[in-house]
């Protein structure tokens, strides 16, 4: 068995319309000279291209998928939101979500993006592949049931999990979100449920600024099944390793999932314009190695990564390559040229000790240490 990689060029053709970073053009916002929207296809295309030129592509089982169905979407999103989204996609441009512009044909692109994740989930559960990576775009982890947020239009992972549950019945799934931003959409969808453990490790008070607090642990049947690990800005490589070892891994073992899904954002990288976490490609390699080991220990290796954020064209390809190398169990001769950049100097020991003490305190509070 090998690693399956889900990709469709049509997802990279999706456009948000003219914008400068996240600001729609108009009024005093001058049109850009070129492709400048924050969530543009180049980081994903450069990642895919590096997989190809490194030779790793030849070892992947590359697959496509059909878009998710309307029934799939309506298991997660409200009918009012879906109707508005479809109408906007058919007719033109609007901004009904907090920051997510919906433009012509965006419903089709988002449905295809979710479709890549849906097929990855189905194929991993079937046991015919070792694990999977879905290069989904637009991303999904901020999308709430009733609105798009944070450049996310449909909740790719949740839609895919609910489609799998409709077919297979109850599944215990752990969703591990290592994007630099809090996975608020996934949290909202599963906040009252005990069949999905949601773990989000993120830069504290980044986006959304009022979400992702450690004290938010779920409600009702879901109490204790939502874990937020807000890290101090500038935490760097060691903070991620400490959070994984002291909170993520023990929580996964206690939950004993049937499947692990990673909301795989790379915007914690040290050159990203949307984060300040100083992670490196080695950070993502270590997180992937640890998560893969947990999957093999707990759920027969059933693991998939669904692409989320990451906005540095320099670093995202090397971070993504490190994750896919890990999934495949192969190393290429690619050397990350950014790894030793002086801009990515890690924080001093007193900072690391402070962050570690905060992580240890949270682990004890969660009954994990």
Q: Which helix (H) or strand (E) segment is 23 a member of?
A: strand 23-24
Backbone angles phi, psi at 195, to 5 degrees: -95, -5
Helix axes 281-298, 236-243, angle to 10 degrees: 10
142 is catalytic: yes
| Kind of pairing between the strands at 259-264 and 23-24 | unpaired
Q: Which of 7, 37, 77, 142 is catalytic?
A: 142
Q: CB atoms < 10 A from the CB of 220, how many?
A: 9
d(CA 241, CA 41): 29
* CA distances for 353 relative to 131, 323, 360, angstroms: 35, 27, 10
Strand order in the sheet with 303-307: 61-63, 3-6, 131-134, 303-307, 259-264, 173-177, 196-203, 226-231
Backbone angles phi, psi at 5, to 5 degrees: -125, 125
Helix, strand or coil for residue 108? helix
Structure tokens at 108: 């089709």
Report DSSP state, residue 71: H
Q: How far is CA 354 from the centre of its chain?
A: 27
Cβ pair 134, 145 in contact under 8 A = no
d(CA 309, CA 322): 16
Burial call 314-347: b when 16+ CB within 10 Å, e when fewer: ebbbbbbbbbbbbbbeeebebebebeeeeebebb
Nearest of 1, 2, 11, 106 to residue 306 by alpha carbon: 11
d(CA 159, CA 65): 14
Q: Which helix (H) or strand (E) segment is 359 a member of?
A: helix 349-365
Structure tokens at 293: 């080991």
* Residues taking part in catalysis: 142
């Amino acid at each position: 068995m090998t690693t399956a990689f889900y990709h469709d060029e049509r997802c990279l053709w999706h456009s948000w319309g003219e914008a400068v970073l996240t600001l729609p053009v108009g009024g005093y916002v001058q049109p850009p000279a070129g492709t400048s929207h924050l969530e543009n296809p180049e980081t994903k295309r450069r990642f895919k291209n590096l997989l190809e030129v490194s030779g790793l592509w030849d070892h992947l089982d590359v697959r496509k998928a059909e878009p998710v169905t309307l029934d799939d979407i309506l298991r997660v999103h409200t009918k009012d939101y879906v109707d508005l989204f479809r109408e906007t996609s058919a007719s033109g441009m609007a901004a009904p979500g907090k920051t997510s512009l919906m433009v012509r044909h965006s419903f089709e692109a988002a449905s295809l993006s979710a479709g890549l994740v849906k097929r990855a989930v189905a194929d991993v559960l079937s046991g015919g592949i070792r694990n999977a990576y879905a290069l989904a775009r637009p991303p999904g982890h901020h999308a709430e049931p009733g609105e798009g947020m944070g450049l996310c239009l449909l909740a790719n992972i949740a839609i895919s999990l609910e489609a799998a549950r409709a077919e297979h019945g109850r599944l215990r799934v752990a969703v591990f979100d290592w994007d630099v931003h809090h996975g608020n959409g996934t949290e909202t969808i599963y906040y009252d449920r005990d069949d999905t453990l949601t773990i989000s490790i993120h830069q504290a008070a980044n986006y959304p600024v009022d979400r992702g607090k450690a004290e938010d642990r779920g409600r009702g049947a879901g109490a204790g099944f939502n874990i937020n690990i807000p890290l101090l800005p500038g935490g760097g490589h060691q903070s991620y390793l400490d959070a994984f070892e002291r909170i993520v891994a023990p929580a996964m073992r206690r939950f004993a999932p049937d499947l692990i899904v990673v909301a795989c954002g790379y915007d914690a990288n040290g050159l990203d314009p949307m984060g300040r976490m100083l992670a490196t490609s080695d950070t993502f390699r270590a997180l992937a190695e640890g998560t893969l080991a947990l999957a093999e220990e707990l759920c027969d290796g059933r693991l998939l990564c669904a692409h989320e954020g990451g906005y540095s064209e320099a670093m995202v390809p090397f971070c993504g390559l490190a994750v896919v190398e890990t999934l495949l169990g192969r190393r290429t001769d690619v050397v990350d040229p950014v790894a030793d950049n002086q801009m990515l100097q890690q924080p001093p020991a007193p900072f690391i000790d402070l962050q570690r003490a905060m992580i240890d305190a949270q682990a004890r509070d969660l009954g994990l240490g």
